[in-house]
Amino acid sequence: MRLAAASPARTLARAALLWSAACAAALAQAPTLSPQALAGRQVFFDVRLSNPQGTSCASCHDARQGWAGNNRSKSGVANGSSPGAFTGRNSPGLAYVGFVPAFHIKKENGKAKAAGGLFWDGRANTLEEQARGPLFAKNEMNLADERELVFRLRSAPYAAELRAAFALADTATDAQWAQAGLSALGAFQRSPEVAPFSSKYDAMLRGEAKLSPAEARGLRLFADTKKGNCIACHAFTPKSKNPADHLFTDFTYDNLGLPRNRAIAATADPKQVDLGLCGPARDKPRGLANNVCGAFRVPSLRNAAQRPFYFHNGSCTDLAEVVRFYVERDTHPEKWYPKDAKGKVALFNDLPKQYLRNVNRDEVPYDRKRGQKPRLDDADIADVVAFIKTLDDGFKP
């Protein structure tokens, strides 16, 4: 093979050239970032911040995969930095994560409803607080403690940049350095690089592009309260021209009754269940009843088409299948759930029995009965998928 014949030095030089050309191209179209966000970008991509080294935030939140991705894991949950270490959940896409409000409970028709908060279960309120999770978790980046984080930040190639951006004095304490690192990550995740509003849909809002007939049909089905009714949770404000009113989530929680992902090693233990708002990663928030057990936060659908795995348990890898699940879960349950020992379809088999009734079964599109016609047919599903693809950033007319 020709490549193998090239000298290592020449291969390296060529790689460097390609790399700098790619960087120059990226920079040419990159939005201007604040010094804090630029420093945060370096922290976000720093593979020295893990034990063993080699895993950065970007390993599980890859810009090319809608800021999601599972660090090469194929099971639906992410590989941590240590061999054999896995997260308990699928990595969510981080695009527009800066818009997620702090966790709160609102009243809707007199009922308490949870909203906001970071992680699938809303257990962190700010990006700064959130970032402590992955940095120190044994199954993620596995840093020993804050001292180790600060040691690596102080000796990082970008240390001067971080100091300047956060006005760290020579006498800055470890706590101040750690705070600067976390704030930098927050600034980057809130920056226009992670929230560029550069999709075809945004161009359409600005009057610079037109959706194709299939995409426009998909959008109508998505918002039609008798068809997809996706808008009920993946909310947007049709009348507004402001892209920030089109995040395709209302940040509330819902229980979809997903199929159990049997590719995750942990699910071999039937006692291992993930109840979202009811733990195991958090305590059930005060003011909420047990009917929230099994509910997870509604994700934004911006850049969803690029994600390799869907749902908190990574049980689906194909966007069309996700849409089909919504409309066929109740009409053709045998397609989605295995049979139990008695040959009966084990509905909602990722939940313990006492919580089966928490699954949303009243709202369109889940309001159909077995054997009825699904709310969307094959052509409709293809159109909804075409529409969701218009939410991918980086659209070039």
Chain positions contacting ligand HEC, by CB under 6 A: 55, 57, 59-61, 71, 78, 80, 87, 89, 91-94, 97, 100, 118-121, 127, 130-131, 134-135, 140-141, 185, 228-230, 232-234, 254, 256, 258, 281, 296, 298-299, 301, 304, 307, 310-312, 319, 322-323, 326, 360, 363, 365, 384
Residue 313 CB, nearest distance to ligand HEC (Å)? 7
In sequence order, what are the residues at sequence separation of 6 or more whose Cβ sits closer than 8 angstroms to the Cβ of residue 195? Answer: 95, 96, 98, 99
Q: Which one, 205 or 382, has the nearer CB to ligand HEC?
A: 382
Using CA atoms, how far apart are residues 287 and 293, in angstroms rounded to an integer? 13
Residue 104 CB, nearest distance to ligand HEC (Å)? 14
In sequence order, what are the residues at sequence separation of 6 or more whose Cβ sits closer than 8 angstroms to the Cβ of residue 268? Answer: none
Using CA atoms, how far apart are residues 394 and 63, in angstroms rounded to an integer? 11
Q: Which one, 107 or 396, has the nearer CB to ligand HEC?
A: 107
Q: Which one, 187 or 384, has the nearer CB to ligand HEC?
A: 384
Residue 201 CB, nearest distance to ligand HEC (Å)? 14
Q: Which one, 37 or 141, has the nearer CB to ligand HEC?
A: 141
Q: Which one, 69 or 396, has the nearer CB to ligand HEC?
A: 69
Using CA atoms, how far apart are residues 250 and 101, in angstroms rounded to an integer? 10
Q: Which one, 60 or 203, has the nearer CB to ligand HEC?
A: 60
Residue 279 CB, nearest distance to ligand HEC (Å)? 11
Q: Which amino acid is at 94?
A: L
Distance from the first to the final alpha carbon of the chain: 39
Residue 225 CB, nearest distance to ligand HEC (Å)? 10
Q: Which one, 161 or 306, has the nearer CB to ligand HEC?
A: 306
Using CA atoms, how far apart are residues 260 and 279, in angstroms rounded to an integer? 17
Residue 134 CB, nearest distance to ligand HEC (Å)? 3
Instruction: Answer positive or negative: Cα dihedral of 20, 22, 23, 27.
Output: positive
Cis peptide before 280 (omega within 30 of 0): yes
Residue 323 CB, nearest distance to ligand HEC (Å)? 5
Q: Which one, 208 or 367, has the nearer CB to ligand HEC?
A: 367
Buried b (16+ CB within 10 A) or exposed e, 130-150: bbbebbbbebbbbbeebeebb
Residue 256 CB, nearest distance to ligand HEC (Å)? 5
Q: Which one, 3 or 147, has the nearer CB to ligand HEC?
A: 147
Residue 120 CB, nearest distance to ligand HEC (Å)? 4
Q: Are 181 and 159 in contact (CB under 8 A)?
A: no
Residue 283, both tokens: 């305590």
| Calculated CA dihedral for residues 346, 348, 354, 359, nearest 10 degrees | -150
Phi-psi region of 371 (alpha: psi -120 to 50; beta: other; left: phi over 0): left
